[in-house]
Structure 1
Amino acid sequence: MKTCDNTSVGIFITDSQGRYLMFDRATFPPGTAPAAGHVDDHGTAEDAGRAEVEEELGLTVTGLTHATGCWRDNRCRRLPGARGTGHDWTIYQATVTGDLTPSARETKNVRWIAADALQELADRTVAYAHGRITDAGFEATPGIEPVWVQWLADTAAIHISPDDLLRVDQLTR
């Protein structure tokens, strides 16, 4: 099993209508999220962002703008890295070109999600964090992948109370 490098990138892609290109993760952790992955041997965070968009969605990144990011204590499916369990995240907003060709290995249900539907998915994650949805129920019909709730709130894509944000953050550990 691979060891985590403790660095991750995530890439928001939006269209002219303000919808977010998101998908349900086909691998751990469950949830709906944009393209993301470890920096690993990609070189820079920018290089990793471009590679992840290509690997997961088949699109070519034509521009990257830093959006947010910080250290998060979120688990991944790898063995803990030198810094323990967690990742130093860099989140970008990207412009892309090409034809959408999602990876069947990493993605399910790739779709453009409007702001109101994004909020509904975030609300589902909050309900899961409060124990109103079972693990099996969340995996079957996911909300936003818990680590992404913070980034979506940071960029004002969704609205969540500080208390609910803390509760959702507990799911990432």
Structure 2
Amino acid sequence: MKTCDNTSVGIVITEHQGRYLMFDRATFPPGTAPVAGHIDNHGTAEDAARAEVEEELGLTVTGLRNVTGSWRNNPCRRLPGTRGTGHDWTIYQATVTGDLTPSAREAKNVRWLTPYALQELADRTVAYAQGRLTDAEFKAAPGIELVWMQWLAHISAIHISPDDLLRVDRLSR
């Protein structure tokens, strides 16, 4: 099994109508999220962002803007790295071109979500964090992937109270 490099990129893709390109993870961790992946041997965070968008969705990045990031104690499916469990995240907003050709290994249910639909998924994740949904219910019909709640709230793509954000953060460890 691979060892985590403790670095990750996340790429929020929007289009001219303000919709978000999201998908359900085909692998751990469960949830709906934008493109993300380890930096690994891609070189820079920007190089990794471009490579992950191509790998997961078959699209070409035409523009990248760094919008946020920091260390998060979120687990991944790899063995813990030298810094333990977690990732130093770099989050971008991106513009893309090309024909959407999702990787069946990485993504399922790829779709463009309106801000309202994205908020509905965030509310489902909050319900899970509040204990109103079981693990099985969340996995069967996921909301936003736990680690993404912080990033999407930071860029004002979703709205969540500070208390609920803390509840979600505790679950993501």
Same fold (TM over 0.5): yes
Distance in 1 of aligned mates of 2:52 and 2:137: 28
Corresponding residue for residue 36 of structure 1: 36
Describe the superposition over 1:37-65 as per-residue Cα deviations: whole angstroms up to 9, x where unpaired: 00000010000000000000000001110
- TM-score normalised by structure 1 residue count: 0.99
1:118 deviation in Å? 0.6
Question: After the TM superposition, which parts of structure 1 deviate over 3 Å for at least 4 consecutive aligned residues?
Answer: none
Deviation sequence 1:126-172 (CA, Å, 0-9, x none): 00011111111111100000100000000011110000000001121
The C-alpha deviation readout for 1:104-145, integer Å capped at 9, x for no partner, is: 011010000000111110000000011111111111100000
Q: Secondary structure at the match of 2:168?
A: helix
Q: Distance in 2 between matches of 1:66 and 1:28?
A: 25
Structure 2 CA distance for aligned equivalents of residues 18 and 78 of structure 1: 34
Q: Counterparts of 1:11-50 in structure 2 under 5 Å?
A: 11-50=11-50
Give the secondary-structure state (helix, strand or coil) at the position aligned to 2:41: helix
CA distance in 2, matches of 1:131, 1:25: 22
Q: Distance in 1 between matches of 2:101 and 2:70?
A: 30
Please show how residues 22-101 of structure 1 align to structure 2 within 5 Å.
22-101=22-101
Q: Residue type of the partner of 2:23?
A: F
Aligned length: 173
What aligned pairs does 1:83-122 form with structure 2 within 5 A after superposition? 83-122=83-122
Deviation of the 1:29 alpha carbon: 0.1
Structure 1 equivalent of residue 153 of structure 2: 153
Which structure 2 residues correspond to residues 118-157 of structure 1 after superposition, within 5 A?
A: 118-157=118-157
Render the CA deviation track for 1:16-54: whole Å, top value 9, x for unaligned: 110000000000000000000000000100000000000
- After superposition, give the CA deviation of every residue in 1:84-108 in whole Å (9 maximum; x if it has no partner): 1100000001111100000001101
Corresponding residue for residue 163 of structure 1:
163
Identical aligned pairs, as a percentage?
A: 82
The letter for the 2-side match of 1:99 is D
Normalising by structure 2, report the TM-score: 0.99
For 2:127 and 2:165, how far apart are their aligned partners in 1?
Answer: 11
Segments of structure 2 that go 5 or more residues without pairing to the other structure are none
Residue identity opposite 1:50 in structure 2: R
